[in-house]
Structure 1
Amino acid sequence: MSAILSVEQVGVRFGGLVAIADLHFDVREGEIVSLIGPNGAGKTTAFNVMTGFLKPSQGEVRFRGTGLTDLQPHEITRLGLARTFQRTSVFPDDTVFDNVMIGLHRQGAQSRRAPLLDALIGRAGASERRLRARAEALLDWVGLSERAGEKAGALAYGEQRLVGVALALATEPAMLLLDEPVSGMNASETQVFVSLIRQIRERGITVLLVEHDMPMVMEVSDRILVLNYGRLIAEGPPDRIRSDPAVIEAYLGQGKAARQAAAEVQEPAHA
């Protein structure tokens, strides 16, 4: 499998603070890869560099061979690299269905360079019917069809995150970056999301995720990348990461919550 995303000796500095140092890795087409590490390790900073929200101090990120350093986030999305965010960003007073429709209209307006307002109040017709059918399909894909008519702000936090995934999938990405996707979800919701990630991969979309839920990471990942203090300290399949001394040490030195995460890293993944 060829690399769809390449991070090449990327560094990020904020004044005298080094957030990322000499980060380098590839993600191959069709993989599910997780980026993990203790709090403050640089995971979200790396995501922000990959998606154009932050410019690296050094190095380069390439997506399908195209350098991303000089591109804006919406230009990167058009190339086929989409992301979700740690915090939900739904329109709370609009229905779940209308949230997805707004996302689809916005995408269409950008691709046609038309004003968003024109897209939102445009004539009903074949194009509008296609958008509505696509919105229904996306909601069915993420398991929210039955909630389509409810206000997005009334959904549970985990369900709001699924709306964000639907909006990212609406861009028809070749690769999807998920930033702490199961944060706020209970165990059963997390298992549903694991199935969704696998379905996304089955449809030909490569997945890179940042996540603190170690059992979920161990279950869903083909490979795991481990950051600590902005540096890549380990890389490999879950079984190797689970027993890696550098990974265990990184978590054990970070307080009670991190020690719990280290214990979860060492537990066998459940089926």
Structure 2
Amino acid sequence: MTAERSAGASAVEATRDSDADTLLTVDSLRKSFGGIDALNGVSFEVSSGTITGLIGPNGAGKSTTFNVISGVLSPDSGTVTFVDEEITGLPSHQTAQRGLVRTFQLAREFKNMTVLENLMVAPEGQAGEAAWRAVFPGTRDDVRHQEEEIFERAWEMLEFFDIDHLALENAGSLSGGQRKLLELARALMLDPELLLLDEPFAGVNPSLEERLLERIGTLREQGHTFLLVEHDMDLIMEHCERVIVMHQGETLVTGTPEEIKSEERVVEAYLGGDVA
């Protein structure tokens, strides 16, 4: 039966699957901008090893939710818990270090760097970034060894996404779809456990969309978890185990695709009707 959320109340217990391993818990998030409530008590859970869709009409608060979870924004109240650790308000680089990484609707590649360089710059804490190592020659072998490992991993990502032929091209010359592939490959260089994908298929042609879906499916089989925002309802219903519906800054309903399809309030929210 589809779990429901009453105004101002937490949906965490209502949406919990006792047989699943909960990876992310979002509880009663609130965020206002200039007196306007962007988030008004958003609550949901994401189980490990799943692909979960986050949907809702324009202005429902999906991107703001992503920004709060990933540390781009701090909530006014509420909590975000990832792998049993509260990460509410932590900056993005710290959430990434813990294994939670997001991509953006508009790819943010370094346009004047090559595709390969874009991948190699992603991992944090690289030994070669420390200026003091240049003073101590004995540490240079460690730097070289780490750079070789990062190069090998970057090349594996290029091959995995079938963009190895673009390795030496400037990222700014890529097509929109190729930028999406690079964005996801760069996120994976951080070895995340949970990826938040913000409209990963927007502007992607059908062949690249199919390739992305295949890669996401493979990564899920390898143990990665995905929470994605997407406007293509058919895609969400076909590829997600769970779906979270937002409306006017609130969690309207969560459930399986089959449950969501039969939920009248979801239809009303998308068609602009009143939501009971």
1-structure distance, mates of 2:265, 2:174? 40
SS of the equivalent of 1:183 reads: coil
1-structure distance, mates of 2:62, 2:199? 10
Query: TM-score scaled by structure 1?
Result: 0.86
1-structure distance, mates of 2:128, 2:151? 21
Change (3 A) 1:245 1:118: farther
Change (3 A) 1:19 1:245: same
Larger-Rg structure: 2
Query: TM-score scaled by structure 2?
Result: 0.84
Identity, % of aligned positions: 39
2-structure distance, mates of 1:118, 1:149? 28
2-structure distance, mates of 1:85, 1:9? 24
Q: In the alignment, what sits opposite 1:77? A: 96
2-structure distance, mates of 1:34, 1:52? 20
SS of the equivalent of 1:182 reads: coil
Q: In the alignment, what sits opposite 1:264? A: none
Q: In the alignment, what sits opposite 2:68? A: 49
Q: In the alignment, what sits opposite 1:161? A: 180
1:148 aligns with 2:167: yes
Q: Which portions of structure 1, spanning 4 or more consecutive aligned residues, are displaced by more than 6 angstroms?
A: 116-119
Q: In the alignment, what sits opposite 1:246? A: 265
1:108 aligns with 2:125: yes
1:37 aligns with 2:56: yes
SS of the equivalent of 1:8 reads: strand
Amino acid at match of 1:108: G
Q: In the alignment, what sits opposite 2:144? A: 125
List runs of 5+ in structure 2 lacking aligned partners: 1-19, 135-139
2-structure distance, mates of 1:115, 1:250? 52
How many residues are treated as equivalent by the alignment? 248
CA RMSD, 1 decimal: 2.1
List runs of 5+ in structure 1 lacking aligned partners: 255-271
Q: In the alignment, what sits opposite 2:17? A: none
1:116 Cα deviation from its structure 2 partner? 8.4
Q: In the alignment, what sits opposite 1:220? A: 239
Change (3 A) 1:40 1:127: same
1:134 to 146, 153, 168: 153
1:176 aligns with 2:189: no
1:69 Cα deviation from its structure 2 partner? 1.9
Q: In the alignment, what sits opposite 1:99? A: 118
